[in-house]
Amino acid sequence: MAGGEKSMKALREVWKRAENSLCADCGKPDPDWASSTLGVFICLSCSGIHRNIPSISKVKSLKMDHWDDAQVQFLAKHGNAVTKATYEAHIPIYYYQPTYNDCQVLREQWIRAKYERKEFTEPGKQLPYTDGVKEGILWKRGRDNGQFLPRKFLLSEREGCLKYFTKQDAKEPKINVKIDVINATFQPEKIGNPNGLQITYLKDNKTRNIFVYHKSGKEVVDWFNAIRSVQFHYLKVAFPIASDNEIKSRLTRNFLKEGYMEKTGPKQKEAFKKRWFTLDHRRLMYFKDPLDAFAKGEVFVGSRENGYSVQKGLPSGTQGNFSWPYGLTIVTPDREYLFTCETETDQLDWITAFTSVINQAMTPQEYAIEAYFKFKS
């Protein structure tokens, strides 16, 4: 067997190991790139990020590039399991480890944190999101004028809150929000900035949106993980018998689905109006504009055993005028909510998202939220 063929055979054997069947950085199946300097198998998307840090990582295609014997031996000696044991040895429980479904800034900063900054190689390392307090400037979108202006934000574990100030020297914050009602999720497309972060919180049991970004990807991801860190430690005190993994599951969450649908009013005779919808677990919120601070309305989506369901299509005889042909109906114990989607794909995706929520049993806290929605209506 020629030397080149022998190297390729050895490369394929290492590549086929179970530990190397998923991208080392985002978990995408069947990675077909690798780093010849780190020894990890990665997907095409993550290889592009590695290519931006050439002093740390040299990447090559496993299918198209030539691998010499020394490089193949290096891969065989390392691989994803060994390399992860070094670079992911001490990840804080609350640190968000992105997947291939997450946005570019999260994945890039995760890769840089591991290999470039080596944030997780030593126990107890002091990091920008671990000391229980973070203060700095974020560019915040104005609620009324839509302009992004610099605002001072302060996150405090001791006080259990997030504040922001309209002026650098302001004594009193514009808002002071308890950490346990906050969510944060990256929204680069919606905000129109690759580092766009949406912070939501409950105010009088209504969801309030704040849209921010920072010019530095590292800084905005540090803010995101600092929020998760403060939430984690707050909930550890509030729920002392809960496991770390249970508490981790209560930290920041991505929305189940977002997008445009048309809706009609409670009499079901009004014209359908186009609205932006956000499904945040059991809260279905709708907005005139995706970047509105407050929803025009919210619908509680309960469980099947409590009389909630989703049905394809609209009830026969629906009178309201609508322009999109793919309808769906949310049935609740009190009324039916009618929506239309522009495409069949949107319709089926929304039905799948609603079904996933409706099939889950409600928690005691969710029964309390349901009671509030019923009282409000």
Asked whether residue 129 carries a pLDDT value surpassing 90, the answer given is no
* The CATH fold of domain 133-249: PH-domain like (2.30.29)
Structure confidence at residue 377 (pLDDT)? 59
Report pLDDT for 8.
Answer: 79
3-state secondary structure of 49: helix
Count how many Cα atoms sit within 13 Å of the Cα of residue 298 in the half-sphere of its side chain. 20
* Fold observed for domain 257-375: PH-domain like (2.30.29)
pTM of the model as a whole: 0.91
Q: CATH number for 1-116: choose from 1.20.1630.10, 3.40.50.300, 3.40.190.80, 1.10.220.150.
A: 1.10.220.150
Q: How many CA atoms lie within 13 A of 48 on its CB side?
A: 6
Closest CA to 310 of 266, 370, 351: 351
User: Averaged over 26-35, what is the pLDDT?
Assistant: 96
Q: According to the model, what pLDDT value does residue 3 have?
A: 47
What ranges in 125-271 are assigned the alpha helix state H? 188-191, 217-238, 244-248
- Confidence category of residue 126, pLDDT binned at 50, 70, 90: confident
- Matching fold, domains 1-116 and 257-375: no
The domains of the chain are located at: 1-116, 133-249, 257-375
pLDDT at 2 (0 to 100): 43
pLDDT tens profile 96-122: 999 999 999 999 999 999 999 999 999
The 10s digit of each residue's pLDDT in 315-360 is 887 777 888 999 999 999 988 999 999 999 999 999 999 999 999 9
Average pLDDT of the chain?
91
pLDDT tens for each residue of 209-251: 999 999 999 999 999 999 999 999 999 998 999 999 999 988 9
The region of weakest confidence among 135-149, 150-164, 197-211, 310-324 is: 310-324
C-alpha atoms less than 13 angstroms from C-alpha of 139 in its C-beta half-sphere: 16
Dihedral angle computed from the Cα positions of residues 294, 300, 301 and 303, in that order, rounded to the nearest 10 degrees:
150
The answer to whether the beta carbons of residues 109 and 119 sit under 8 Å apart is no
